[in-house]
Amino acid sequence: MKLTLHIWRQQKRSTAADFKQDGRMVRYELDGVSPDMSFLEMLDVLNEQLIKKGEEPVVFDHDCREGICGSCSLMIDGEPHGPQSGTTTCQLHMRSFRDGAEIWIEPWRAKAFPVVKDLMVDRSAFDRVVQAGAFISVNTGAPQDANAIPVPKADADRAFDAATCIGCGACVAACKNASAMLFVGAKVSHFMHLPQGRVERETRARNLVAAMDKEGFGNCTNQNECEAACPKEIPVRVIAEMNREFLRAKAVEEPPSGKRVGGDG
């Protein structure tokens, strides 16, 4: 395969105020690409050629290359992770493109994800959101047998659907408001359906939403681009569950007087 690549090259780290600064699209011609290569392997071949020419290779993020870590965050032809639905960039193969195609490759475009260099972005905002409460901190006792706590299958399925989130940020990149509500909703939904997670349900919902707002992510306007772009196909149902959990948490929140208001719901 012969390809024409248009790749965003940026030397200087961007800021939240200007996340498109000091960068430009650079054109590369690449020949001899196997249809069986993954998209990242194709970029490896390009970088090998650039290094042989004495040019600086293209910087992009990757780790497991198994569709698990979520680090292969690339906007390909205007779509997060490329044209194939339910697929991460590392598992996208070049047979998804025609011979002679022109491919446009950019980093995520969100103020909360500043560009570090070229195609690599800083997604540590997600880490800080998780640190705000996407975990179980209470002592649940010694490990129990798998069947010791009955969990209805419907609840287990919903929890598992949410737990598949890999935190890649495609939902943010696809949203016109750079909203992280699908990501945060997945963290809330993961725990709300399991008995171990319900102990901290009020503080979790409040803390995660507060952290999301603090990082500068936008709001959801119900266009469902996030669901379409998610490589793990997490449903937008988790956003509704997050909103419900947050409203519930605010209803039972203790006022400054210390007197609890609302019911247990």
In a domain? residue 210: yes
**Residues linked to residue 103 through DSSP beta bridges, in sequence order:** 5
In a domain? residue 213: yes
Residue 183 and residue 86 in contact, taking contact as beta carbons nearer than 8 Å: no
Number of domains in the chain: 2
pLDDT digits (tens, 9 = 90+) for 51-108: 999 999 999 999 999 999 999 999 999 999 999 999 999 999 999 999 999 999 999 9
Q: Is the pLDDT of residue 265 over 50?
A: no
Whether residues 247 and 128 share a domain: the answer is: yes
Residue where a domain terminates, one of 62, 88, 120: 120
In a domain? residue 204: yes
pLDDT digits (tens, 9 = 90+) for 172-183: 999 999 999 999
CA-only gyration radius of the chain, Å: 21
User: 148 lies in which domain range?
Assistant: 124-251
Task: Please name the residues in contact with 141: beta carbons below 8 A apart, sequence gap of 6 or more.
Answer: none
12-21, 87-96, 128-137, 156-165: least confidently modelled range: 12-21
In a domain? residue 74: yes
Whether residues 175 and 190 share a domain: the answer is: yes
Whether residues 142 and 237 share a domain: the answer is: yes
Region 4-26: mean pLDDT is 82
**C-alpha to C-alpha distance for 10 and 59, rounded to whole angstroms:** 9
Q: Is the pLDDT of residue 264 over 50?
A: no
Whether residues 115 and 207 share a domain: the answer is: no
Q: pTM, whole model, 2 decimals?
A: 0.89
Residue 241 and residue 188 in contact, taking contact as beta carbons nearer than 8 Å: yes
Model pLDDT, residue 244: 95
Whether residues 85 and 66 share a domain: the answer is: yes
Which tokens hold the place of 237? Answer: 């149902």
Whether residues 232 and 139 share a domain: the answer is: yes
Residue 234 and residue 162 in contact, taking contact as beta carbons nearer than 8 Å: yes
6-15, 80-89, 105-114, 226-235: least confidently modelled range: 6-15
Residue 238 and residue 159 in contact, taking contact as beta carbons nearer than 8 Å: no
3-state secondary structure of 209: helix
**136 φ/ψ angles, rounded to the nearest 5 degrees:** -110, 120
Of the candidates 120, 127, 153, which has an alpha carbon nearest to the alpha carbon of residue 208?
127
Model pLDDT, residue 248: 92
Whether residues 67 and 10 share a domain: the answer is: yes
Owner of token pair 């939902």: 171
Residue where a domain terminates, one of 120, 154, 181: 120
Whether residues 111 and 131 share a domain: the answer is: no
**Residues linked to residue 30 through DSSP beta bridges, in sequence order:** 3
Model pLDDT, residue 14: 77
Type of residue found at 136: I
pLDDT, greater one: 113 or 140: 113
Residue where a domain terminates, one of 90, 120, 150: 120
pLDDT band for position 140 (50/70/90)? low
Which tokens hold the place of 198? Answer: 């319900």
Region 132-153: mean pLDDT is 79
Of the candidates 190, 171, 65, 24, which has an alpha carbon nearest to the alpha carbon of residue 112?
171
Query: Where residue 96 sits, what CATH number does that domain have?
Result: 3.10.20.30
In a domain? residue 261: no
Whether residues 100 and 139 share a domain: the answer is: no
Of the candidates 260, 133, 130, 104, which has an alpha carbon nearest to the alpha carbon of residue 197?
133
In a domain? residue 70: yes
Beta strand segments in the chain, E: 3-10, 23-30, 75-76, 79-80, 102-106, 115-117, 120-121
